[in-house]
Amino acid sequence: MLPDHATSSFGGMRVGGSRGCSAVSTDPFENSTRPVHGPFTTAPAGTARRSAPAAAKGSREARSRRRMRSWRMVLPGSSRRAYASGRSTASDASLAPVTPSWIPDEATIDAANVTGLMADLGLADLAALHRWSVEDRDAFWSTVVDRLGIVFAVAPRAVRASDDPRRPGWFPGARMNIVESCWRGSPDRLAVVHRRGGTVVRTSLAELREAAMRFAAGVVARGWEPGTRVAIAMPMNLEAVVAYLGIVAAGGVVVSIADSFAPDEIATRLRITDPVAVVTQDVVRRGGKLLPMYDKVVAAGAPEAIVVDTGAGVELRRGDRPYDAFPAAEPLPAAVVVEPGHPSNILFSSGTTGEPKAIPWDHTTPIKAAMDGRYHQDIHAEEVVAWPTNLGWMMGPWLIYAALLNGAAFALYDDVPTGRGFCEFVVEAGVNVLGVVPSIVAAWRAGDALDGLDWSGVRVLSSTGEASRPDDYAWLMERVGAPVIEYCGGTEIGGGYISATVVEPAVPSTFTMPTLGWDLRILDEDGRPTDEGEVFLVPPSIGMSVELLNRDHDAVYYGGLPAADVPLRRHGDRMRRLPDGRYRAEGRVDDTMNLGGIKVSSAEIERVVGGVEGVGEVAAVAVPPPGGGPERLVLFVVPHGTVAADDLRAAMQARIRTALNPLFKIDRVVLVDALPRTASQKVMRRELRRRLTG
């Protein structure tokens, strides 16, 4: 339960102790209210983050912050013994203590959202905060809802309808539409920064609301009732965002399709979801080239298409219509009220074989995204957040909600993010929180893309999508002077399950804690606790899926799990807990190799050889020889410059011998122009194995 001096309430429901928290908020977003349209009311805002000057020197909040100023703070899990008997038999040289690349100063700690939360709750450290968030989940999520100011048309009668961890039934009795919570704050505040034809354009919250609610009115005018599915297959630009928010505001369900997919992949997703229409674009402009978009949608057998015209002169099919003709003249006065569990979005897993899993998000899932953004990425009101992404990947909707629900703006770039142009856009847009993907960072470093640019406005970096290279991230943190917050999770949980915070030192390519509200277990193949093994999550959490459209949900996430003292949920990642309490990702369970009788992950090998001169990107796979037998290690390498495969093999073998295990022998090195990736930028190692085995 909540500490006895703190309370949390929303919609008339009270959770926790009898005495309220005495602190007064100075956050301009959290305590603001606005006239709302229709039946919506704003949940009472909880006490908010205070900046350092707002806390009196002798106050409980200031004392709490002073206790946290040492970077040697208590981390969740750090009291656990360093190593268990089930650890890898590979060399442990990589487990030696690592010097942080960034250490927070007092001002950063004082101003952090997570510091204010701990101070208000009277909790001295992150370990205590995390423990409370998983031991009293109702109180935790009630507090989150209060602080985000989530708007309900009808207040919930409880936080959960059921004690079943698989299907908790969040906010029973409530009626809401999550889009209405996006409009809180001053109508004049910045909502979106985007580049259009080389020009940076700024859109206010009022302008975004007007456009989205006009699109919503267009949905209603077509007679598309709540629950109707409408696909979006196009780049993540302002038109895509307006359509996304408009469809959800009308009670519809967005079907997210990445613009990079081939027609067959688009067709698969359309077949699974059966939308009534597809919002798309005539062409996509990338790196000076015009790539087909509308033609791919047509080739996929799409239903009615609503097409953004960029001036490419593409002729539309009969029945298709220009995007500009779809919105109604007048905006919908208020978002359509639905139950919290009403679907809002269907996204697809990054499947590498077979049919991708279709994962519904509902109107509570964005709360998870916004919570992560608030306390892990430390997004503040009136800041600008950027993350090169697409609505076909969960980080696209995540970006919209993590920014708007925290009173921030988000920035959208209309070209490839690997070059100088994007790095200049970061400056022009005034980006404060910047999400990255490791391959993008590698390209910036190789191309000197940041040279001469002032990125002093960027105070937080965050990374997800694939395993990062420590040397690249050490370089980035030194170059920018900001921490890289590693972030790992999935579409099926609406955000991350393991991350870090800005009040801790940042060690490249490591995590410091499970995200607030999630607990985890690392188990070996026999279901025993270990410090290196498969990660299992301990449900429930807001954001986690409760159904799949084309799979048996419970069989996928709960079937055949080991016995444990707590309920478990399968996620499929491998993780290693380091002696200092930090964590390091070891890839997916299905990317584990057996080399000479020793189990090792692809990620571990890639981390070791990724720093070899001449290696741009690398993916490690293991395949048996044609006649069967022990697996053989094959490395696919995207080279930097002109380099021979044999020379790379010798250099990488020497690095493996000294940094990992001399028994691991490289069988082949294959030079490639690019590694195959999913829409979420994960390397498709199964595809690489297929190339080798046929």
Residues 533-577 pLDDT 10s: 999 999 999 999 999 999 999 999 999 999 898 999 999 998 999
User: Which pLDDT does position 8 carry in this prediction?
Assistant: 38
CA proximity to 201, closest of 383, 413, 399, 397: 413
Instruction: Choose the weakest-confidence range: 81-90, 340-349, 544-553.
Output: 81-90
Q: What is the percent of the chain where pLDDT is above 90?
A: 71
Mean pLDDT score, 659-683: 87
* Spatial contact of 454 and 423, defined as CB atoms under 8 Å apart: no
Helix, strand, coil tally for the chain in percent (to 5) = 30, 25, 50
Q: Output phi, psi for 574, to 5 deg.
A: -105, 140
**597 band by pLDDT with thresholds 50, 70 and 90:** low
Fold category of 596-693 in CATH: GMP Synthetase; Chain A, domain 3 (3.30.300)
pLDDT at 85 over 90: no
Q: What residues does 193 pair with on adjacent strands? A: 202, 411
Q: Please count the other Cβ atoms lying within 10 Å of the Cβ belonging to residue 57.
A: 7
**What does 375-397 look like in DSSP terms, one character per residue?**
HTS---TT-EEE----TTSTHHH
Instruction: Choose the weakest-confidence range: 85-89, 313-317, 528-532, 605-609.
Output: 85-89
**602 band by pLDDT with thresholds 50, 70 and 90:** confident
CA proximity to 399, closest of 434, 441, 349, 440: 434
User: Which pLDDT does position 223 carry in this prediction?
Assistant: 98
For the chain, the domains span 7-67+98-165, 596-693
Mean pLDDT score, 476-499: 98
**354 band by pLDDT with thresholds 50, 70 and 90:** low
Mean pLDDT score, 107-125: 97
User: Which pLDDT does position 627 carry in this prediction?
Assistant: 60
CB crowding 277-312: b at 16 or more within 10 Å, else e: bbbbbbbbbeeeeeeebbebbbebebebbbbbebee
Residues 134-157 pLDDT 10s: 999 999 999 999 999 999 999 999
CA 156 → CA 32, 161, 174, distances in Å? 21, 10, 4
pTM of the model: 0.81
pLDDT at 80 over 70: no
User: Which pLDDT does position 352 carry in this prediction?
Assistant: 36
User: Which pLDDT does position 599 carry in this prediction?
Assistant: 67
Report the chain's mean pLDDT, rounded to a whole number: 86
Which residue, chain included where needed, has tokens 């360093």? Answer: 82
Mean pLDDT score, 86-104: 60
**Please, what sign has the CA dihedral across residues 283, 285, 286, 287?**
positive
CB crowding 532-558: b at 16 or more within 10 Å, else e: bbbbbbbbbbbbbbbebeebebeebbb
Interaxial angle between packed helices 395-404 and 238-249, expressed in degrees from 0 to 180 and rounded to the nearest 10? 80
- Is the pLDDT higher at 642 or at 376? 376
Mean pLDDT score, 293-304: 97
Instruction: Choose the weakest-confidence range: 494-503, 528-537, 584-593, 604-613.
Output: 584-593
**Please, what sign has the CA dihedral across residues 207, 212, 217, 218?**
positive
Q: If you count DSSP H runs as helices and E runs as strands, how many of each does the chain have, helices first?
A: 19, 32
